[in-house]
Amino acid sequence: MQRESTPVLAETLAAANGRLIGVLTLNAEKNLNAVSLPMIALLAQHLTAWAMDDRVAMVVMQGAGSKAFCAGGDLQNLHRTMQAHHASAQNGNVLGNDYANAFFEREYRLDYQIHTYKKPILCWGHGIVMGGGIGLMAGASHRVATEKTRMAMPEAGIGLFPDVGGSWFLNRMPGHAGRFLALTGASFEAADARYAGLADYVLPHAVKADVLEALLIQPWSENCEANHALAGYVLRRAEARHGDYGWTQAGPLRQHQDLIDNLCGRDTVEEALDALAALETNNPWLAKAAASSKRASPGALRLAWRMLEAARHLSLADVFRLEYGVALHCAAQGDFAEGIRALLIDKDMSPRWQPAGSSAAFLDSPWSVQQHPLADL
């Protein structure tokens, strides 16, 4: 298989003491490294192999090119299979789309694998990191944002909810920042990524080669805990050496936290959406966020709110199990296909959303607890 057509490039770099650092490069630059089933399979395969290889001390994940670590999921294939499903005799059957079943199960398994990986994973989140890209980055043990990092969970704008563990990590953000990001899909950069708990280090992209070089001279061992400490040491030292930049100052998410808490700290999603709709501001970031919530799927917005409520006290594994069933409901009978059509297929930006109450039963699991495909997480 040619290098250009391989969705993941995997290599190992030899450290000075003979240990190895595994490097995984998402290699779909033309599609902004969008997550596809072949990409998921290769990432999981290499992570599994390296977890069992005592020579491999840590893993680095990065995106090909300079524009994106990963801009989300491969929505075109999902749309094609959703359209076929809706037109088939299986229409309405939540489990009737084999591609969606496989995609979401394997994507969530991979995300969970990263969250629970024993060895250090350094994710270099340069450029666009959205949706499924945040799903890959969120669970890494050492997450780097750069001056070009731009994150968002804009799923409600295409008729989905913030998945890939979003129901878990959005709930752990300061105040009601997670609710705000779920309802508005607002984008945020490096400083706010760290503030929100989605990045651990903020570094100029230009120092990546220096960081890798420094990693290669560390005294790696078979002790995972010690290796985690070494990776952190290298990244903290890099931050200290390269000083403070203007783009590391507090971002709008942090600057407007009090207002965000007021807008989204309401008892119901309807009250929060009304508050966003009534917002009068001269701040472009806030104005864009409020406008986005007006254009998003009403059903998806209410579903996103319900998911955050339902997942508040769940374990990470239970969150992925919940999200899997809800994602299949969205693919089978929600606004998801229509949102992709309007944004990416016809590009008319005029989605015809269903009534807001149409997703009321989406949290009902298609399986019993014992039969759930992710029961083993």
**Residues that are catalytic:** 73, 132, 155, 163
Distance CA 113, CA 374 (A): 12
**How does strand 128-130 pair with strand 121-125?**
unpaired
> Using only C-alpha atoms, what is the Rg of the chain?
20
| N-term to C-term CA, the chain | 32
Q: Are 64 and 27 in contact (CB under 8 A)?
A: yes
Cα separation, 277 vs 377, whole angstroms: 40
CA-CA distance, 57 to 119, in Å (whole number)? 7
Q: Which alpha helices (H) appear in 157-223, and where do they start and end? A: 166-169, 177-184, 190-195, 208-215
Cβ burial of 2 (10 Å; 0-12, 13-18, 19+) is exposed
266: left (phi over 0), alpha (psi -120 to 50) or beta: beta
Q: Which of 19, 15, 37, 35 is nearest to 27 (CA)?
A: 35
Measure Cα distances from 320 to 62, 104, 148, 361 in Å: 24, 10, 29, 18
DSSP state of 282: S
**Interatomic CA distance for residues 162 and 177, integer angstroms:** 13
> For residue 45, how many C-alpha atoms fall within 13 Å in the half-sphere facing its CB?
11
Helix (H/G/I), strand (E/B), else coil: 145: strand
Contact in structure between 19 and 54 (CB atoms under 8 Å): no
Other Cβ atoms within 10 Å of 224 Cβ, number = 16
